[in-house]
Amino acid sequence: MTKTDLSLYNNDHYKPGGAIKRLAWYVTSLVFFQNYIFPISSIKVVLLRIFGAKVGRDVTIKPAVNIKYPWFLEIGDHVWVGEKVWIDNLAMTRIGSHVCLSQGAMLLTGNHNYKKPAFDLITQGIKLEDGVWIGAQATVCPGIVCKSHSILSVGSVATSHLDAYTVYMGNPAGPVRKREFK
């Protein structure tokens, strides 16, 4: 086994914002978002907007939510972000209207290139179109588009795009049925 030069582990090419901006968000996030002490969603929405997020009307953000960088976030109208949701948005994350992110759901926009000795950072945005439901403990991987009214069921992992009006389940998630309204 060859020894790897640790100086290679450098992702300085990734510039998500200035150090002061990131520090200010980190403190704000700890106080208002990542704990159970502060439940007032409307103030969280205002704070997200102050930090550059585009947020629509009637957005509910429950306690213990982790949002990496609000300046890479767009949220439509009538969206529910459940407890312990993690929006790890190293790249632009777009959430449409009438979307539900259930408890513990994860939106991951970053990964590492395992084919490189320095595990170079790779980022790709995520888009959740209108009417999407991401189930509890489900994960959406980098670069994925969840099309209109698709569902990613509890504990599932979306590693490829989800078709509109389709329910997905498993790891990796596969289609199991059409979503029909009655």
Going from N- to C-terminal start, the domains of the chain cover 18-178
Task: Give me the pLDDT at residue 9, please.
Answer: 66
pLDDT at 174 over 70: yes
Quote the DSSP letter at residue 137.
Answer: T
Taking Cα atoms as reference points, which of 125, 140, 137, 124 lies closest to residue 94? 125
Tell whether domain 18-178 is in CATH 3.30.460.80.
no
pLDDT at 2 over 60: no
Q: Distance (Å, rounded) from C-alpha 62 to C-alpha 17? A: 26
Mean residue pLDDT of the chain comes to: 94
**Alpha-carbon 162 to chain mean position:** 16
| φ/ψ of residue 55, rounded to 5 | -130, 130
Q: Are 52 and 70 in contact (CB under 8 A)?
A: yes
Q: Using one digit for the tens of pLDDT, what is the confidence trace for 120-157?
A: 889 999 999 999 999 999 999 999 999 999 999 999 99
